[in-house]
């Protein structure tokens, strides 16, 4: 699966499972660690854990291997490492505190999520 397709697939899984404030960033030109970061929030530690499990289960069914998983115990910030895509799922308080977007967004690397509607119920123009 192509890196951008994997990142969008993960974002869609999170969207369908009611994650909040989903952001996908193309960071390939900023770091050698990964190509994409998917950042999302759950409303509680329980939902953060469930979102991570949902992503892992859905991708495992498609043969996408999880390389590492961190933060499962507390459910405040879970990181799923798929090599070319890192998934960060936060509890809202921790998301505000760490604000990863501030560190990795350069003003031009946010990926448009074609399935997310704006406040008026409109999908973005692709």
Average pLDDT (61-77) is 93
Average pLDDT (46-50) is 96
The fold of 3-104 is Beta Polymerase; domain 2 (3.30.460)
Distance separating alpha carbons of residues 74 and 77, to the nearest angstrom: 8
Q: 20-44, pLDDT tens digit by residue?
A: 999 999 999 999 999 999 999 999 9
Phi-psi region of 45 (alpha: psi -120 to 50; beta: other; left: phi over 0): alpha
Domain boundaries, the chain: 3-104
Beta pairing class for 77-81 and 20-26: unpaired
Model confidence at 50: pLDDT above 80: yes
Average pLDDT (62-81) is 94
Whether the model pTM is above 0.85: yes
pLDDT for the residue numbered 13: 97
Q: 77-124, pLDDT tens digit by residue?
A: 999 999 999 999 999 999 999 999 999 989 899 999 988 765 445 555
């Amino acid at each position: 699966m192509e890196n951008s397709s994997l990142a969008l697939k993960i974002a869609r899984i999170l969207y369908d499972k009611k994650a909040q404030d989903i952001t996908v960033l193309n960071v390939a030109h900023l770091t050698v660690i990964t190509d994409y970061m998917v950042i999302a929030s759950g409303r509680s530690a329980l939902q953060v854990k469930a979102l991570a499990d949902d992503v892992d289960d859905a991708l495992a069914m498609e043969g996408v291997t999880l390389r590492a998983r961190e933060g499962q115990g507390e459910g405040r910030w879970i990181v799923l490492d798929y090599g070319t895509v890192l998934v960060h799922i936060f509890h809202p308080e921790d998301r505000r505190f760490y604000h990863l977007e501030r560190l990795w967004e350069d003003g031009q690397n946010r990926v448009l999520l074609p399935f997310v509607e704006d406040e008026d119920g409109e999908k973005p123009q692709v």
